[in-house]
C-alpha cells in the first residue's frame, strides 16, 4: 500500500555526498560551465545554454539568464515550483531535486527556506526563467559550511528553472495552506477530539527556522484543547491525515498579533510552518 510521505527535515534536503574542497580563484562562471559539464548529473534539462542576460547584485551575487520567462515576477510569499541543482565550484553536485528523485520541488520566497542568497536571487526572477546564480559563501553556508558536504567559505553555483506558481490549497481566515503531499491511502482525518503528532519547523521573515522538532528527535503532540497554541495552527490542522506534508503561512492576527513573542517573533509578523503529520490519534 503506497503512502505519500513528506520529507522530514525540509523540502530542500542537502544530500550528503563526498566533496574534496573548493578550487580557489575560480569565480568566472564561463570557466565553471566547462567543469560542470563533466559531472554525472542526470538532470540534462538544466544544462547551460547561451547566456542572454546577466545581473550583478549585492556582495558578489550574480545571475546569468539562459532563458527569460514570460510569467509573473516572483515576489515575497510566493510559492514556486523549481527544478534546481547546487554545485561547488569544483563541479561537485551537492543538492538538487534529482537527488530526491523529484522532477521539481516547491520554494517559499522570503522565509529562509534556503540560505539568504536564494531569497535575494528569486525576487529578481520570473516564472519561466532559466538561470545560473553565483552565490558567494557569505550568502550561502558561510564560514561554517556543512561538515562532509560543503567546505567552509565555499561559494555555490545554482541552476534554477522556475516552472510555475503554486497556489494555496485553501485559505482559512487569511491563513494560506499548501498541501504539498497527501497520504491518499489514509481515510482518518483529524477532528477536534483527536490528538496529532507532527514534526515541524517554524519561522518568520526576520527569524527563519527559530524552532524545529527535529532537533529534539521526537514529534510535537498537540490536542486541540491545548492552551498556548496559535489559533491559526489549530484551524489548519483540522482535517489533516497521517503522513500529510503541509506548509502554512499564518497572519499575525491568527498568531502572536501586535504583541509578538518575546524577542523571537516581532509584532505583527507572520509565521511560516513546515509540517509533517506523524500520526492522528
Residue 272 domain flag: yes
| Together in a domain, 142 and 41 | yes
- Residue 210: pLDDT band (50, 70, 90) is very high
| Together in a domain, 142 and 174 | no
CA distance 65 to 73: 15
Mean pLDDT, the chain, whole residue set: 87
Tens-place pLDDT, residues 86-107: 999 999 999 999 988 999 999 9
| Together in a domain, 181 and 160 | no
Global model pTM greater than 0.95 = no
| Together in a domain, 106 and 182 | no
Q: Which of 150, 165, 180 is the last residue of a domain?
A: 165
User: Is the per-residue pLDDT at 223 higher than 70?
Assistant: yes
CATH of the domain at 228: 3.10.50.40
| Together in a domain, 118 and 147 | yes
**Structure letter (DSSP) for residue 260:** -
Strands (E), the chain: 53-56, 62-67, 79-88, 93-96, 105-108, 130-135, 156-165, 170-172, 175-181, 195-203, 211-212, 220-223, 245-250, 271-280
Tens-place pLDDT, residues 114-162: 999 999 999 999 999 999 999 999 999 999 999 888 999 999 999 999 9
Residue 239 domain flag: yes
In this prediction, residue 34 carries a pLDDT of 46
In this prediction, residue 41 carries a pLDDT of 67
User: What are 51's three cell numbers?
Assistant: 547566456
Residue 124 domain flag: yes
User: Is the per-residue pLDDT at 18 higher than 50?
Assistant: no
State the residue range of the domain holding 140: 29-165
First to last CA, the chain: 20
Q: Is 152 helix (H, G, I), strand (E, B) or coil?
A: coil
- Residue 185: pLDDT band (50, 70, 90) is very high
Provide the domain count of the chain: 2
CA distance 68 to 64: 10
Q: Which of 165, 181, 200 is the last residue of a domain?
A: 165
| Together in a domain, 177 and 136 | no
| Together in a domain, 97 and 46 | yes
Amino acid at each position: 500500500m503506497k503512502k505519500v510521505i513528506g520529507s522530514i527535515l525540509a523540502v530542500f534536503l542537502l544530500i550528503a555526498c563526498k566533496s574534496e574542497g573548493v578550487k580557489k580563484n575560480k569565480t568566472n562562471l564561463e570557466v565553471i560551465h566547462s567543469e560542470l559539464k563533466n559531472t554525472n548529473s542526470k538532470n540534462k534539462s538544466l544544462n547551460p545554454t547561451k547566456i542572454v542576460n546577466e545581473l550583478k547584485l549585492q556582495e558578489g551575487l550574480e545571475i546569468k539568464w539562459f532563458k527569460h520567462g514570460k510569467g509573473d515576477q516572483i515576489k515575497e510569499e510566493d510559492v514556486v515550483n523549481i527544478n534546481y541543482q547546487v554545485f561547488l565550484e569544483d563541479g561537485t553536485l551537492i543538492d538538487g531535486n534529482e537527488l530526491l528523485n523529484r522532477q521539481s520541488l516547491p520554494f517559499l520566497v522570503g522565509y529562509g527556506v534556503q540560505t539568504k542568497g536564494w531569497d535575494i536571487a528569486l525576487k529578481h526572477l520570473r516564472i519561466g526563467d532559466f538561470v545560473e546564480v553565483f552565490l558567494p559563501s557569505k550568502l550561502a553556508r558561510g564560514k561554517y559550511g556543512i561538515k562532509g558536504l560543503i567546505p567552509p567559505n565555499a561559494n555555490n553555483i545554482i541552476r534554477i528553472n522556475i516552472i510555475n506558481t503554486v497556489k494555496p490549497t485553501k485559505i482559512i481566515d487569511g491563513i494560506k495552506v499548501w498541501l504539498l503531499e497527501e497520504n491518499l491511502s489514509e481515510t482518518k482525518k483529524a477532528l477536534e477530539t483527536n490528538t496529532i503528532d507532527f514534526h515541524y519547523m517554524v519561522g518568520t521573515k526576520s527569524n527563519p527556522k527559530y524552532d524545529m522538532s527535529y532537533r529534539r528527535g521526537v514529534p510535537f503532540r498537540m490536542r486541540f484543547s491545548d492552551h498556548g497554541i496559535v489559533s491559526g495552527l489549530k484551524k489548519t490542522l483540522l482535517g489533516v491525515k497521517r503522513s500529510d506534508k503541509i506548509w502554512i503561512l499564518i497572519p499575525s492576527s491568527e498568531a502572536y498579533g501586535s504583541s509578538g513573542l518575546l524577542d523571537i517573533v516581532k509584532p505583527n509578523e507572520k509565521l511560516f510552518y513546515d509540517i509533517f503529520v506523524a500520526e492522528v490519534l
